[in-house]
Structure 1
Amino acid sequence: MWDARFEEAVRARIPMLPPGQALGPDDELRALGMDSVATVALAADLESAYGIAFELDDLVPENFRTPARIWELISACRARVSAGRP
């Protein structure tokens, strides 16, 4: 589904997920301790890690609700970059 750098970046921003517990695609990140400050930091981390730029319309709470939704957003941004759009 997603790669190790994604998992590492998300885990770094959710303090309530125990180290040995799997990160599930539908885990509610807010319930795992990710607040708005952590969400902004995660967005910046992901832009840097993947060489993408989120558009303003991408930066809504719904897009950062679960790991699966964030991964879908990253995939869409990477497709834009591949198509020659920022």
Structure 2
Amino acid sequence: MTDLWNDTFLETLRQQLPLLPAEGELTPATNLYDLGLDSMRSVQLLIALEETLDISIPDEMLTAEAFRTPGDIWTLVQAVKAEQDPGSRDSS
């Protein structure tokens, strides 16, 4: 696990990035569209994140900007987790 996000998040994200080498580094500012994230993969990523992290991301939070970088997505995930379970502020 990194200090930035948890392993589950990272693995789920990596599965939707066809242009990311197996050992390629992801930083919070990495442009995911440069790594092959398109609209179809964004939907697949959304579904995978909701299933693996046990969250439900509201439609109004689904924007292209929210899925531009790993940092943007992690911020979105943390906001949703805090909203859906205010007592759980754990980053895992």
Q: TM-score, normalised by structure 1?
A: 0.92
Shift of 1:17: 0.8
Q: Give the letter aligned to residue 26 of structure 2.
A: L
Structure 2: segments with no counterpart, 5+ residues: 88-92
Residue 79 in 1 paired to residue 91 in 2? no
Residue 69 in 1 paired to residue 77 in 2? no
Residue 35 in 1 paired to residue 22 in 2? no
- Aligned residues: CA RMSD: 1.2
Q: Segments of 4+ in structure 1 off by > 4 A?
A: none
Q: How does 1:3-82 map to 2 (within 5 A)?
A: 3-82=6-85
SS of 1:31 mapped into structure 2:
helix
How many residues get paired?
84
Q: TM-score, normalised by structure 2?
A: 0.87
Aligned sequence identity (%): 37
Structure 1: segments with no counterpart, 5+ residues: none
SS of 2:21 mapped into structure 1:
coil
